[in-house]
Amino acid sequence: MRWTSWAEFWAMGGYGLYVWGSFAVTAALMVIEVWQARRQRADTLLGLHRERALQAGEAAQAPVAVSKDMS
């Protein structure tokens, strides 16, 4: 270790703003990206759920209509 104190670590020899600015934005964007991918998956699954429920609902209706026509 070449750091003699935490303060020195954070300061990064005067370049603290630039170095931490870089690392912080990188970390933040990666977190956001993962969150976005998860959101997308959750939304897709929800959409598929709903579609399936809708189709199940329609299937339940159909036999009634057919027998009416046949009478």
Site string for other proteins, 27-46 (x = CB under 8 A): --xx--xx-xx--xx--xx-
Q: Burial-class residue 60 by CB neighbours within 10 Å (0-12, 13-18, 19+).
A: exposed
- Residue in 4, 5, 7, 22 binding other proteins, rule: CB under 8 A: 22
Query: Contact at 8 Å (CB) between 36 and 28?
Result: no
Q: Round to whole Å and give the CA distance between 59 and 48.
A: 16
Q: Which residues bind other proteins (CB under 8 A)?
A: 1-3, 9, 12-15, 18-19, 21-23, 25-26, 29-30, 33-34, 36-37, 40-41, 44-45, 47-49, 51-53, 56
